[in-house]
């Protein structure tokens, strides 16, 4: 019995250590007051505002983006996140979501439609999907099909935000989705 208790205790210590390590491996971004949102992202990535301050858009890339970037190819390592203006349907359309024949889809290239998922959680409701598009892969020297995660979500106060990633952005995409919050402006 004592060995079982010791084993369970060791598991708890490991779990706490893992959770602590995960929180240490993230950075926090707080948008300027007029934009009113915050999120966490992986520590080996960098966040920077894009456009003018009123745009409320943030670009997130790996610290070593210049080494990873493939000339002439798809930007696989950049994602953009930010507050949306207007109503939800405008934001959905702007972010490549459409309602076709009774279902939500996401598309960038005609003929390459993908189903979108309706998101409904305690905090958010909206759409999430993977944009399927053609992209050039320099290492292959050919065109291929790439999938990029995308979402448009709103809260109960009709604050709307969106995020569009590249094919290699799943980890920061998930971290931002998990931690994104609107704050008082």
Supply the pLDDT for residue 61. 93
Residues of the chain with pLDDT under 70: 1-24, 53, 69-74, 136-139, 185
Rounded Cα–Cα distance for residues 20 and 94 (Å)? 38
CA 2 to chain centre: 45
Kindly report the pTM of this predicted structure: 0.79
| Residue 101, phi-psi category: left (phi > 0), alpha (psi -120 to 50), beta (remainder) | left
Supply the pLDDT for residue 99. 95
Return the number of other C-beta atoms located less than 10 Å from residue 81's C-beta. Answer: 26
Supply the pLDDT for residue 8. 42
pLDDT of 75-86, one tens digit each?
Answer: 788 999 999 999
Q: Output the CATH code of domain 27-182.
A: 3.40.1000
Supply the pLDDT for residue 139. 65
């Amino acid at each position: 019995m004592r060995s079982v208790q010791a084993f369970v205790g060791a598991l708890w210590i490991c779990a706490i250590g893992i959770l602590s390590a995960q929180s240490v491996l993230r950075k926090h971004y707080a948008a300027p007051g007029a934009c009113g949102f915050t999120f966490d992202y992986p520590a080996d990535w960098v966040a920077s505002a894009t456009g003018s301050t009123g745009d409320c858009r943030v670009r997130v890339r790996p610290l070593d983006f210049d080494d990873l970037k493939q000339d002439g190819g798809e930007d696989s390592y950049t994602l953009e996140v930010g507050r949306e203006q207007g109503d939800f349907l405008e934001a959905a359309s702007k972010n490549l979501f459409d309602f076709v024949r009774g279902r939500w889809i996401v598309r960038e290239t005609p003929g390459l439609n993908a189903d979108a998922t309706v998101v409904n959680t305690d905090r958010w409701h909206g759409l999430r999907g993977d944009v399927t598009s053609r992209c050039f892969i320099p290492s292959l020297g050919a065109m291929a099909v790439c999938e990029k995660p995308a979402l448009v979500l709103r809260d109960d106060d009709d604050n709307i935000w969106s995020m569009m990633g590249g094919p290699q952005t799943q980890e920061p995409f998930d971290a931002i989705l998990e931690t994104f919050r609107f704050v008082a402006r």
